[in-house]
Amino acid sequence: MLGLDKKDTSLLVIVAILTLLAPFILNPFPSGSAMAQFNAGYPDLMQRFVIFGIFAIGFNILFGLTGYLSFGHAAFLGVGSYSAVWMFKLFSYNVIPAIALSVVVAALFSLLIGYISLRRSGIYFSILTLAFAQMSFALAYSVLSNPKFNLTNGETGLQVYADDPQLFHRDSLPDMPHLFGLSMRSTYHLDIGAWSFDFNAGYYLCAVIMMVMFYLAIRIFRSPFGMMLRAVKSNQQRMNYTGLNPRPYTLAAFVISGMYAGLAGGLMAAMDPLAGAERMQWTASGEVVLMTILGGAGTLIGPVLGAGFIKYFENIFSKINDNILHQWFSFLPDGFEDFMVFIVHPFIGKGWHLTLGIMFMLVVIFLPGGLVEGGQRLGNWLRNRGKGAAEAKTKQEPAE
């Protein structure tokens, strides 16, 4: 279907089903139960899952295929957000032109940075991109937000004020980012028994865009262009000797992934019309690297899984506090309850970074291929379980 082979088609269909049914899948526990703490099916987090999914898919086109590790991708995300909010401020709250502009601006910006940074490879390339991103952050945070020329509104973040021109805004339209009148915040609550599910317009817009972007990524992975990018990764020198210039390929990959980041930034602004400078900080750039590696660099679905994993920890684990722990362990005798709370305490609430760090270490040490490798191992184990042990033994991996 759509020019994909059977395996890729089924992958795309799985992703489509997962994203469209996410409101059900992410809310497995009845609201009001003690486990409801772990539900992730509320609009904001679902939007974040798919938006950072898009960001990571794009990053993976650069890092997974060419092996160029950019440490400055958050800059494109931030630029995308700023341009989208400016579109809201000047013209209208309609998300389509805003998202389009954010992709275009991110493309131009990444062309500039890519053209300069790609003159070097390896660690030098990483450092160059990091330097550019930190420069953009400093510009957005301080320099471009002075009262005389306020482009980014600095620390507070760029937002839409009532006295902004908004040339095409009419009173009949919602005072929120909207898609031809459909507010991105409008949510339909569905109560089934003890469960409740949220269907949010903004989420479905992001989900549809993510599916399109995922499809695009598959096509890039499978195209001759994708093959060239892989060639850059495996041996750039050999490529040079055969008379091919890798620069246009890497630059194209860099710009494409920059556009993905810009799209993610634009969507973030479309879901919540505020662009903060922290989006461009190096920690944000590092986060997408973590997402990609955690999920599985160079795989199609990996980055999306990694993005979901990290965002889940950031938003769910950081909200567990001691009171909730006491509720969980309340069935234990008093002293033991306090002991358990004491043991778990460092890993929840403000300690979510610690938990995430441990998980990341475990994944990198035991599953170098990321969560995707974990899934594959699990799948193989399940498949081989039925067969005889002898059969499994005779099957040997071919040598590289």
Partner 1 sequence: MSNNELTRRGLLRTGAVAGAGVALPTIFTASSAAAYTNEPTGGTVTLGFNVPQTGPYADEGNDELLAQQLAVEHLNGEGDGGCLNTFTSKALKGNGILGKKVTFVTGDTQTKSDAARASAKSMIEKDGAIMINGGSSSGVAVAVQGLCQDAGVIFMAGLTHANDTTGKDRKANGFRHFFNAYMSGAALAPVLAKEMGNDRRAYHLTADYNWGWTQEESIVASTEALGWETVNTVKTPLASTDFSSYIAPVLNSGADVLVLNHYGGNMVNSLTNAIQFGLLDKVANGKDFKIVVPLYSELMAAGAGENIKGVLGSMNYNWQLDNEGSRAFVKSFGEKYGKPPSNSAQTCYAQVLLYADACERAGTFNPCGVAEALEGFEFDGLGNGKTLYRAEDHQCFKDVLVVRGAQNPTNAYDTLEIVEITPVEQVMYPPNHPMFGGDEATLGECNPGA
The least CB distance from residue 175 to partner 1, in Å, is 8
> Scanning residues 37 to 66, which ones bind partner 1 (CB under 8 A)?
39, 42-45, 48
Q: Which tokens go with 357?
A: 């760090």
Piece of the chain touching partner 1 by CB under 8 A; list 1-9, 89-97, 234-242, 291-299: 1-9
Piece of the chain touching partner 1 by CB under 8 A; list 141-149, 298-306, 333-341, 367-375: 141-149
For residues 295 to 334, the per-residue mask of contacts with partner 1, x marking binding by CB under 8 A and - elsewhere, is -------------------xx--xx-x-x-----------
Nearer to partner 1, 170 or 393 (CB): 170
Nearer to partner 1, 12 or 372 (CB): 12
The least CB distance from residue 134 to partner 1, in Å, is 9
Rule CB under 8 A: say whether 357 interacts with partner 1.
no
Residue whose pair of structure tokens reads 């479309």 in the numeric block: 270
Return the residue of 154, 286, 374, 375 that touches partner 1, per CB under 8 A. Answer: 154
Rule CB under 8 A: say whether 18 interacts with partner 1.
no
Compute, in degrees rounded to 10, the torsion defined by CA atoms 137, 250, 207, 274: 10
The least CB distance from residue 80 to partner 1, in Å, is 14
- CA torsion through residues 323, 328, 331, 333, sign: negative
Rule CB under 8 A: say whether 138 interacts with partner 1.
yes
Residue whose pair of structure tokens reads 């630059």 in the numeric block: 251
The least CB distance from residue 154 to partner 1, in Å, is 5
Rule CB under 8 A: say whether 104 interacts with partner 1.
no
For residues 220 to 249, the per-residue mask of contacts with partner 1, x marking binding by CB under 8 A and - elsewhere, is --xxx-------------------------
Return the residue of 63, 214, 249, 352 that touches partner 1, per CB under 8 A. Answer: 352
Name the site residues for partner 1 (rule: CB under 8 A).
Answer: 1-5, 16, 20, 39, 42-45, 48, 138, 141-142, 145-147, 153-157, 159, 162-163, 176, 179, 182, 185-189, 198-201, 204-205, 208, 211, 219, 222-224, 272, 274, 276, 278-279, 314-315, 318-319, 321, 323, 349-350, 352-353
